[in-house]
Amino acid sequence: MKMKASDALKDGEVPEELPEDVDPEEMALKLKFPWHCEKGIVKNIVPLNTEFNTFRGLNPVKIFVTGPPASGKSYYSYELARYYNIPHISIKQLSDCALTISLLDEEKIGEDEEKLAIKAKCDELRESMAADMETARGDPPEGVDEWPEIERATLPIRVPDDILWKLLHKELC
């Protein structure tokens, strides 16, 4: 099969004889084919998606499922996501992401201010919990010189709602 580019997609040709007051480079720019997606669909998928959704009036919908324990929240959330082919995000996923970020070295995080703030808040919570634990356990029993060091990285902190909210909306994971 032979394929040939359409003449409609080619740049116009600058005539050999031009008036003196016409710049050939400027004329070539005017005759250049006006590409709207010169780098291709893959490089422009985000603006294309935005334009598509705006033109058709499609707005994102978020569904928040809440209820008492063992009422089927997880099951029905998963089923809704599967049926409508939409992402399913759980609090556990967001919490695990925050805890993973909190255990990263600052060098690995780099200059990402959101991640640095998450790490700082989680470290602060761990320090507070460790201090409370040290106060609560008091002096070591007889025959023991000192209590073992508390492993701060393994403390079961509760990730604050504001961090979960950031992770959900900023897509930091």
Q: Give the integer Cα–Cα distance in Å for 173 and 111.
A: 15
**Mean pLDDT in residue range 71-99:** 89
Per-residue pLDDT averaged across 76-94, rounded?
88
Q: Contact 167/173 with Cβ under 8 angstroms? A: yes
Give pLDDT, residue 93.
87
Instruction: Tell me the C-alpha distance between 103 and 100, whole Å.
Output: 5
Ranked by mean pLDDT, which of 2-6, 121-125, 145-149 comes out on top?
121-125
pLDDT at 153: 83
Q: What is the pLDDT of residue 83?
A: 93
Q: What per-residue confidence (pLDDT) applies to 146? A: 81
Phi-psi region of 58 (alpha: psi -120 to 50; beta: other; left: phi over 0): beta
- pLDDT beyond 70 at 89: yes
Q: What is the pLDDT of residues 19-76, one digit of tens each?
A: 778 787 887 777 777 776 677 778 888 888 888 889 998 887 778 888 999 999 989 9
Instruction: Look at residue 70 in the predicted model and tell me its pLDDT.
Output: 93
Residue of 8 and 68 predicted with greater confidence: 68
Task: Confirm if 84 and 77 have CB atoms less than 8 A apart.
Answer: no
Question: Is residue 172 a contact partner of residue 97, using CB atoms and an 8 Å limit?
Answer: yes
Indicate the pLDDT class of residue 173, thresholds 50, 70 and 90. Answer: low
pLDDT band at 82 (very low <50, low <70, confident <90, very high): very high
Residue carrying structure tokens 């669909």:
41
State the DSSP string of the chain. Answer: ------GGGSPPPPPSS--TTS-HHHHHHHHS---SSTT-TTTTHHHHHHHHHHHHT----------STTSSHHHHHHHHHHHHT-----HHHHHHHHHHHHTS-HHHHTT-HHHHHHHHHHHHHHHHHHHHHHHHH-SPPTT-SSPPPP-GGG--PPPPHHHHHHHHHHT--
Task: Write the pLDDT tens digit of every residue in 125-157.
Answer: 999 988 888 888 888 788 878 888 888 888 888
170 pLDDT band, cuts 50/70/90, is: confident
Looking only at Cα atoms, what is the longest distance across the chain?
104
